A and B are shown apart, each in its own frame.
Chain A
Amino acid sequence: MRFLKDCKSDVTADLVYRVCPMHLLEPSELIKDLKTGQVLEILTDYDGALDDLPAWCTKHGQEFVGVCEDESEDIYKLYIKKLH
């Protein structure tokens, strides 16, 4: 797991409080609309996303850039770069 201090993104999906498996369903839809090289930021409070999203990237050939913890809000910010 790569921990980031900051990461720029092109699109943000705010999935905070939205229950599992929305952290997988919504990004898989949103990433379709991104251009190759663009970065999707996913905001979530769901711990399971830390395992699920890297695994989803591996399975679908996208790059999992890393995770940033926002302690002020108790949420995670996870970043996926679109490779194809």
Chain B
Amino acid sequence: MTQVYLDHAAATPVRPEVLEAMLPYFSQRFGNPSAVYDLGSDIKEVVEANRAKVGRLIGGHPAGVIFTSSGAEANNLAIKGAALAHLKKGRHLVVSAIEHHSVLNSARYLEKFHDFEVTFLPVNKFGQVETERLQKVLRPSTVLVSIGHGSNEIGTMQNLPELAALCRAAGVLFHSDAVATVGAIPIAVDDWQVDLLSLSGPALGAPKGIGALYFRPQLRLVPQIHSGIQENGRRGGTENVPGIVALGTAAELAQGELEAGSRHLKKLRDRLVAGIQEKIPYAIYTGHPELRLPGHASFCFEGIEGEALLFLLSPRGIYANTGSACASKALKVSPVLCAIGIKPDVAQGSLVLTLNRVNTEAEMDYVLAQLPPAVERLRSFSPVWRKKIAAAAGGQS
């Protein structure tokens, strides 16, 4: 059976080059980087070399790269760590309304346990944070602003340089969850004046269990995992050396492929989007039509349930998602779609297709052959939908 995997925002296969690079560090080169003998100190050098590769990919100094277990941990460390390190300035945070749970819930934690006040900043209909709106909510007590670079749910990308420059000028720290964009588009964290930036290994073709936080090296952070000298005293726990090698290798590969990879993804995405818009009526293309992740297509199909669509597509070998991996499982209307003004009943019909460099044009064509009849079939079961279509037809005649 043809299989087309279009849920790369949830999980990606480990790249063969990455797997090959990391394998020796499970067995032959197993030393602890903190050990003083060469079996350990050699490994420390490997860790540092891979730290530099990650720094290069995002245009940041290697000293600012802290390896974590995931993008979610990086977001936790950025938000809690930076906010708690700057209590003297105040206890006000700003996060956008469409952030990942790891950002929203870190902010809520500070609100609940550390008396912070959090502003959940609304976005426009494309899911963009407007600079003027951000400017209006900043206060002298604002410690940190956190705005994700690209939304895994609606694909929209934010104007990070502009938002970060505003915060720098106002003396407010700026964090961005860039899990969706690192490796997909060029990033210049230092030039853009971004103080903290989270990234994740799996998004680059490294295995799950590795991520990183980039922080401006002069910045103070309160560690969230307390131990000893690992990550220069900022994040405890013996280093995940195979994961670090994997992330560094994946970062290096991504850097070499950024331009061609992005071009390839855009071409596939545009083919997919144009085909869906042509073949499926009452399909709302969510997020920004142009300023979006190159490999991201998201729709809401009126009159159906996204979950049902996934179940119908799965036996046809098509694997996609209805939103973020966590929200999808909860069968809850997506807060991101609500935030961009999609009505709850329409938001139920969400489909998110996230592509990767390994996808092909033939796969897009296969999806375009299978998806329209699947949507049509589900709509045919719905009395509400039939009534709506009948009313629309009556109105036209």
A19 in contact with B223 given A25-B229, A73-B88 (CB within 8 Å): yes
Q: Is the CB of B228 within 8 A of A17?
A: no
Q: Tell yes or no: B222 within 8 A of A by CB.
A: yes
Smallest beta-carbon distance A69→chain B, Å: 15
Main DSSP-derived SS at the A contact region: loop
At the interface, yes or no: A22 with Cβ under 8 Å from chain B?
A: yes
**Using a Cβ–Cβ cut-off of 8 Å, how many residues does chain B contribute to the interface with A?**
15
Q: How far is the CA of A20 from the CA of B226 in the complex (A)?
A: 10
Among the 9-residue stretches B37-45, B99-107, B232-240, the one with 4 or more Cβ atoms under 8 Å from chain A is B232-240
Whether A19 contacts B228 by the Cβ 8 Å rule is yes
Flag A6-19 by CB within 8 Å of B: 1 or 0 each: 00000000111111
Q: Is B85 an interface residue (CB 8 A)?
A: yes
Kindly state whether residue B221 has any CB partner on chain A within 8 Å.
yes
Contacting pair A22 B220 (CB below 8 A): no
Q: Which residue of B lies closest to A18 (CB)?
A: B233
- B221→A17 contact, CB < 8 A: yes
Question: Closest approach, in angstroms, between the C-beta of B263 and any C-beta of chain A?
Answer: 43
For chain A, the count of residues having a C-beta within 8 Å of the partner chain is 13
Across the interface, do A18 and B218 meet the contact criterion of CB distance under 8 Å? no
Cα distance, A6 to B85, chains bound together (Å): 24
Q: Tell me the complex Cα distance, A73–B222, Å.
A: 14
* B220 touching A21, Cβ below 8 Å: no
State the CA gap A22–B232 with chains docked (Å). 7
State whether the Cβ of B380 lies closer than 8 Å to any Cβ in chain A: no
B141 within 8 A of A: no
A15 near B88 with CB under 8 A, answer no
B229 touches A17 (CB 8 A): no
How long is the Cα–Cα vector from A11 to B114 in the complex, in angstroms?
Answer: 34
> Does B227 count as interface, using CB distance less than 8 angstroms?
yes
In the bound complex, residues from chain B placing their C-beta under 8 Å from that of A25 are 229
CB-CB < 8 A to B220: which residues of A? 14, 16-17
> CA A22 – CA B85 in complex, angstroms?
17
A17 contacts which of B88, B222, B227, B236 (Cβ < 8 Å)? B222
Bound-state Cα–Cα, A17 to B218, Å: 12
Q: Does A22 lie within 8 Å of B229, measured CB to CB?
A: yes
Give the distance to chain A from B155, nearest Cβ to Cβ, in Å. Answer: 36
Q: Report the separation of the CA atoms of residues A10 and B232 in the bound assembly, to the nearest whole angstrom.
A: 22
Most buried by B among A14, A18, A22: A18
Chain A residues near B221 (CB-CB < 8 A):
17
| Residues in chain A near residue B232, CB distance under 8 A | 18, 22, 26
Closest to A15 in B: B233
A21 to B236, CA, bound (A): 12
Residue of A nearest to B217 (CB): A14
CB distance from B84 to the nearest CB of A (A): 8
Residues in B lying within 8 Å of A, measured CB to CB = 85, 88, 218, 220-223, 226-229, 232-234, 236
A→B interface (CB under 8 Å): 14-22, 25-26, 72-73
What would be 5 A-B contacts, judged by CB atoms less than 8 Å apart? A15-B233, A18-B234, A19-B236, A21-B228, A72-B88
- Name 6 extra pairs, CB < 8 A, besides A17-B222, A21-B228, A22-B229: A18-B223, A19-B227, A19-B233, A20-B228, A20-B233, A25-B229
